Amino acid sequence: MSLPEDLNMAALPRQPYNSPRLMKWFYCTHRVGSSLALLPYWAIKYALGKRPRPSWSLKETLLIDFTRRVSAICDQAGVQHAVRDPTKEPNRDGLKETRFEWVPGISGETCCGVLDDEEVKPLEKVGTFIWERAEDVRADYSMLNGKTPHADDEAMSSLSFQPSIAGGEGGDLVGIYLHGGGYTHFSAHEHAQTSIIPRRLMQYDYFAAIHAVEYRMLPDSPFPAAVQDAVAVYVHLVRSGVPANKIVVIGDSAGGNIALAVARWVRDHRQVPAPGGLLLLSPWCDPSRCFPDCLHSYVPRPNPEDYLADAPAARRLLVTSLLGNKPHEYLSSPYLSPASSFGPHGSFDEFPPTFIHYGDAERLIDEIEALVCGMKRDRVDVDVEKTPDAVHDVLMVRFWNENVRTHIYRRICGWLDGVVKRAGGPPARSRAGSRASPTDSSGGPVTSTSGSPSSSRKRAPSGGSNLRRASLTAAAAEAKPNSIGGETKLRPNGTHSAPYGDTLSPGVVSVPEGGSQEGIEEVSGAQRG
């Protein structure tokens, strides 16, 4: 099985059974091959007979069945898919849509509460893959240089950019994305399957940037390793000048579990302000649900037609790895299982506004609905979208009905409008240029309904605070590398590589001397979805 550069497959050290590595790969190859051989049989079976969900197409039904079998194979064999070492630098030349940046790990007074663990120590630095909006970079470059920018232009590396989220009146948001994969699969790398989510979110132009955290995973790094890494990125952004109310913590599946823990830590310890919102997509919010009494009392999850496997031995191994050396009782901690019995009254007090999406055909439906009930009980501003017949983490499923996924993104955009408004920015429909038109699976634009968040919007001309401010300094004029993280260059797809820490002071110029911002309009180029 070929994987993109920087990603690999690795066998878990703690395996459900002891077997030589060669036998493990033979088992996986045999099972995957037999699953492929069964596809014609399944095609005839579902074409002539009843499908698990009547609304599912034949393609969706076949691929869900196949994915479920492959998921079970990986769980049984203890194989991780599309992972990378989070402590190592990626091949930067292979990054076409993102840039990579290290941020300081938590230390001192920040390493407190549940993050202060004798068994699991925080990293000195945490890696992030940063998705950035590029049209402002191109517009400012063109105004300053009078020509279209190119990736190899030396002058492009001399520009320093002031993100509009750093104190302007605009509503540009910053996302922190925590990928799913059951704490064992995938990566924050742009080549990973889960990157379809930040890539698509960037198309809608609500975010100036999304920081995808390369957090540590199981079995080598039990709880709270992933939470330590996510908190490090959040604290770094806030202390670097990003307004907390413009930060949205995004998590799908296991990433949703981490996002909930980050919000809880911020609330409990109050070292930094709370984020502007939580965006949870099929969050795994109660690992204790399957093991209410002990690791040998297994409760099956509903909706067996979902692609998530549900083998008791594999689930037990996963939970054991997550706990590390902690006792079973720790599994019910609100930091690990926030939806466990709804949690105590007040468990979600002062949580930020939250958007939760899930499908009614997914295995996690019971625990997600328990999470929703707990949040509503504690008066959290929670917006819920439940999609009929949708499987787990459906926004990550590339072959799923595009109309269904587009509707979900439109609901998310409507919620993001509220985050922007609460943060003090103008309504999204009147601010910040034309929104990028989302693309369907074939690459063509998706038609927006009247008033939908993906409709075209004009940037307010007054003040120009929503433009990225660019300044040519004396050092920049000499194309001098910046002091942190090398040169600032425009990548082939238009993303730039200047980290937030490299920006100049707010006193910078948005337009050429004597120029006017009246009538200036930004058109964002949609990224590949």
Residue boundaries of the structural domains of the chain = 17-77, 92-422
Residue 338 has pLDDT above 50, yes or no: yes
How is domain 92-422 classified at the CATH fold level? Rossmann fold (3.40.50)
Name the token pair of 342. 């709804």
Of 345, 320, 319, the residue nearest 334 (C-alpha): 345
> Helix 312-323 and helix 58-77: axis angle, to 10°?
60
DSSP 146: S
Question: What is the rounded average pLDDT of the residues 65-73?
Answer: 90
Name the token pair of 225. 């390793």
pLDDT digit string (tens) for 10-26? 444 444 444 567 777 78
Name the token pair of 181. 């994969």
Name the token pair of 169. 């009146």
CA distance readout (Å), 89 to 30, 129, 377, 426: 34, 11, 44, 39
> How much is the mean pLDDT over the chain?
77
Q: Which amino acid is at 444?
A: G
pLDDT digit string (tens) for 356-377? 999 999 999 999 999 999 999 9
pLDDT digit string (tens) for 414-459? 999 999 999 987 655 434 333 444 444 433 333 333 333 333 333 3
Of 276, 279, 260, the residue nearest 268 (C-alpha): 260
pLDDT digit string (tens) for 31-68? 888 889 989 998 999 999 899 999 999 999 999 999 99
The HSE-up count of residue 47 (CA atoms within 13 Å, CB side) is 7
Helix ranges, 133-212 (H): 135-145, 196-203
Beta strands in 360-426 (DSSP E): 382-387
For residue 314, what pLDDT band results from cuts at 50, 70 and 90? confident
Helix ranges, 344-462 (H): 365-377, 402-422
Is the C-alpha dihedral spanning 361, 277, 110, 340 positive or negative? negative
Cβ atoms of 361 and 394 within 8 Å: the answer is no
pLDDT over 70 percentage in the chain: 68
- Give the 3-state secondary structure of residue 197: helix
